[in-house]
Amino acid sequence: TISSTAEKVVYLVVFHLSFVMFVWSYWKTIFTSPASPSNEFCLSKADKEQYEKEERPESQQEILRRAAKDLPIYTTTASRAIRYCDRCQLIKPDRCHHCSACDICVLKMDHHCPWVNNCVGFSNYKFFLLFLMYSLLYCLFVAATVLQYFIKFWTNELPDTHAKFHVLFLFFVAAMFFISILSLFSYHCWLVGKNRSTIETFRAPTFRNGPDKNGFSLGCSKNLREVFGDEKKYWLLPIFTSLGDGCNFPTRLVIMDPEQLTVSSQNEPAKSSGANQSFPTRPLSESQNRLLASDSQWVESGPEEENVKSGAKKHIIVSLES
């Protein structure tokens, strides 16, 4: 009797815990508004008026290049043009795309999910992953607890009541949802490991050296931290802990300016003692970014920092003009 009571308590605790985490994650995925680009990516009033007056695409691109020269943009269109949204009238940050269903530009957009009636992007991607995971565990828990009655149904050990058809239906629904969600969850786990979005899987972002699906990949461990954060104790909770602001992403630069490469190698030995260093405000090379190099930090002040900034700025300009 004691053993039976303990099993019931464990069953109820696991059931309610999995259900609460499932609902919490689902709620956060639905009601977290998709993050949009900041005002710095919007054209000024003068540039916007000039852009609308120009009829030649070359002249419009020149206006966009001038407006984007100080922005942290590393990707362009396939034709080497500045990524601009005519609907939202702003220069798109890296990994940002316009959602036709929400009618806004979404930062690090993955896809528009009809299951949650919301865009899945930078602001709620972690919640979406947790929603899939807890849905998977919930379906597995239901199927496992109903399995014994399902077996009894086929061996004619269940009483001849209408309830046995409910057991059969419940097991099949839980099993089918488990298989479906398992494939989707596995796919997104692979995307996290590669640091890609669903859109980037089908259409690789274009960098200075051409399309590169792995342009934002920092290694499996660091890719995971970019989505879930540095504090592992918060990974399984639907609390926003993703690194960055959604507009700036570290990139693994395959081709860099020689000047920036030289400055980076000179700056690499410098270490910072700050444990709570904030996420970089600009995409940085491996020697300058804490996500790319776990023990490397950048210098907070001094001439070397100015050289690094000028080198990064030059790379952005050359990337957009090439």
pLDDT digits (tens, 9 = 90+) for 39-48: 999 999 999 9
> Taking a C-beta distance cutoff of 8 angstroms, is the pair 197, 124 a contact?
no
84-109 average pLDDT score = 94
**What percent of the chain has pLDDT above 90?**
55
Chain centre distance of CA 68: 23
Q: Which pTM was predicted?
A: 0.76
Give me the catalytic one of 105, 113, 189, 220: 113
Determine the pLDDT at residue 145. 83
Determine the pLDDT at residue 3. 54
Instruction: With CA atoms as reference, report the closest residue to 40 among 80, 75, 92.
Output: 92
Determine the pLDDT at residue 263. 34
Determine the pLDDT at residue 134. 94
Determine the pLDDT at residue 142. 86
Determine the pLDDT at residue 246. 93
**What percent of the chain has pLDDT above 70?**
75
152-159 average pLDDT score = 71
113 counts as catalytic? yes
Is residue 159's pLDDT more than 80? no
* Average pLDDT in the chain: 78
Structure tokens at 194: 């590669």
Q: How many CB atoms lie within 10 A of CB 170?
A: 16
pLDDT band at 197 (very low <50, low <70, confident <90, very high): very high
Determine the pLDDT at residue 15. 79
**CA–CA separation, 212 vs 68, rounded Å?**
21
Task: Name residue 97's beta-bridge partners.
Answer: 106
DSSP assignment letter at 76:
B
More confident residue, 5 or 301: 5
Is residue 314's pLDDT more than 60? no
Determine the pLDDT at residue 163. 65
- Calculate the alpha carbon distances from 143 to 91, 160, 178, 242 in Å: 48, 21, 9, 33
Ranking 168-182, 192-206, 243-257, 284-298 by mean pLDDT, the lowest is 284-298
Please classify residue 149 by burial: count the beta carbons closer than 10 Å to its beta carbon, then call 0-12 exposed, 13-18 middle and 19+ buried. Answer: middle
Is residue 113's pLDDT more than 70? yes
Please classify residue 315 by burial: count the beta carbons closer than 10 Å to its beta carbon, then call 0-12 exposed, 13-18 middle and 19+ buried. Answer: buried
Determine the pLDDT at residue 50. 92
Is residue 24's pLDDT more than 70? yes
- Calculate the alpha carbon distances from 124 to 93, 99, 120, 140, 175 in Å: 18, 15, 6, 24, 27
Chain centre distance of CA 217: 12
Is residue 241's pLDDT more than 80? yes
pLDDT band at 161 (very low <50, low <70, confident <90, very high): low
Please classify residue 8 by burial: count the beta carbons closer than 10 Å to its beta carbon, then call 0-12 exposed, 13-18 middle and 19+ buried. Answer: exposed
Spatial CB neighbours of 64, under 8 Å, sequence gap ≥ 6: 51, 81, 82, 84, 91
As a 3-state breakdown, the chain gives helix, strand, coil percent values, each rounded to 5, of 50, 5, 45
> Taking a C-beta distance cutoff of 8 angstroms, is the pair 107, 124 a contact?
no
Find the DSSP H helices in the chain. Answer: 2-31, 45-53, 57-68, 125-154, 163-194, 198-202, 220-228, 258-267, 303-321
Structure tokens at 262: 């030289």
> Taking a C-beta distance cutoff of 8 angstroms, is the pair 304, 287 a contact?
no
Helix, strand, or coil here: 110? coil
Determine the pLDDT at residue 168. 80
